[in-house]
Amino acid sequence: MERRVAVKEPVKRPVKMAGQVKGGSAARIRHWLRGVAGLKLTSRAPLAPLTTFRIGGAAELLAEVGTEAALAALLTAVAEVGCPFQILGLGSNILIPDRGLPGVVAKLSGHFRRLRFDGNRVVAGAALALPSVAKQAAQRGLSGLEALAGFPSTVGGAVWMNAGCYGVEIKDVLISAWLMERDGSHRRIGAGELEAGYRTTALQHGDSIVTRASFRLHPADPAACLARIEQLNRKRWASLPSGRTAGSTFKNPPGDFAGRLIEACGLKGKAKGGAAISPQHANVLINLGDARAEEVLDLMIEARHAVHQRFGITLEAELVLLGELGRRWRESVP
């Protein structure tokens, strides 16, 4: 029997998910989705270059997805074979296992980079870089995103994380987010439904993919908005180690700073193989050149145990630990 992928927009060629295909789930997905417009599939694609840490192995299958129809087709095929699926933004807050990731890793592009201004509102595709959205809004005299312009992030990644800086979080400016579910269906949620807290959202407990988001901004002098971005970025980069990092490793515990606690345990600058706790900022891990994910995780576990032993505080990871790294992290609770 021939089955068709349920998509809201027509795909150029019907996707047949039938017939015998040799190989594993990635081979079947490649076979079913050949010819689908807006989809580029690469087997055994290295993932390290797609992250700011530059660490990790390859994706069994990397999918670059340019349209909603292609994303729906991909998700339906993934559900059909039942393989793991991981969406990636700019890779600025993730650690990928040295062995890589099984199944499909998807990166949004194309239509997901669309940007539309509508009065004081901006609708931004999930694959857009947040700093670029903030800058374009500032140039139009729209204020609200300036404090969020100083770190690498896609719009989708920032919504998923409720990213924030200098007292402003995504939830403060978000009107709504458009989501695609694993069955290819769409839904739109308001900012309240995001249930956003300090680096947490309801999206972290589900499988929804952010496809775009709208933000409420307010009119302001363009030059003043751009100057504010410049000023905050200078401040930001002066306080952060440069090089291959993924920003903050741990969430700050209530009323304290993870960096201060780790430093007090004497771990600032501690190295393991190619990874180190930054000598500049103890809550940032750095890849000295050839770090392995396991080495980064070892340092995280060591820091968490030391802080727990000395202060009785259990640090929570801000860094997203993928695959087996997440399992090891959960098992290592002090």
Ligand X SMILES: Cc1cc2nc3c(=O)[nH]c(=O)nc-3n(C[C@H](O)[C@H](O)[C@H](O)COP(=O)(O)OP(=O)(O)OC[C@H]3O[C@@H](n4cnc5c(N)ncnc54)[C@H](O)[C@@H]3O)c2cc1C
The contact mask relative to ligand X for 163-182 (x = CB under 6 A, - = no) is xxx-----------------
Catalytic residue among 143, 153, 248, 278: 248
Q: How many whole angstroms separate alpha carbon 321 and alpha carbon 82?
A: 21
Which position among 38, 103, 157, 323 is part of the footprint of ligand X (CB under 6 A)?
157
Q: Which of residues 199-238 bind ligand X (CB under 6 A)?
A: 209-210
How many chain residues interact with ligand X (CB under 6 A)?
31
Catalytic (active site) residue 2: no
Q: Which is nearer to ligand X, 93 or 252 (CB)?
A: 93
Q: Which of 154, 176, 283, 287 binds ligand X (CB under 6 A)?
A: 154
In the residue annotation, 318 being an active-site residue is answered as yes
Nearest residue (CB) to ligand X, 141 versus 243: 243
Looking at the Cβ atoms of 33 and 50, the one nearer to ligand X is 50
Candidates 26-34, 183-191, 244-252, 272-280 — which segment interacts with ligand X by CB under 6 A?
244-252
Nearest distance in Å: CB 178, ligand X: 10
Active site residue 199: yes
User: Of 26 and 124, which CB lies nearer to ligand X in the complex structure?
Assistant: 124
Q: What is the CA radius of gyration of the chain?
A: 21
Residue nearest to ligand X (CB): 89
Instruction: Name residues contacting ligand X, limited to 19-58 (CB under 6 A).
Output: 52
- Using the minimum distance from each CB to ligand X, give the nearer residue, 157 or 184: 157
- Which stretch in 34-42, 71-79, 85-93, 254-262 sits in contact with ligand X by CB under 6 A? 85-93
Tell whether residue 283 is a contact of ligand X (CB under 6 A).
no
In sign, the C-alpha dihedral spanning 56, 154, 247, 254 is: negative
Q: Does 97 interact with ligand X (rule: CB under 6 A)?
A: no
Q: Which residue numbers are catalytic? A: 199, 248, 318
Per CB under 6 A, residues contacting ligand X are 52, 86-94, 108, 126, 151-154, 156-158, 160-161, 163-165, 209-210, 240, 245-247, 320
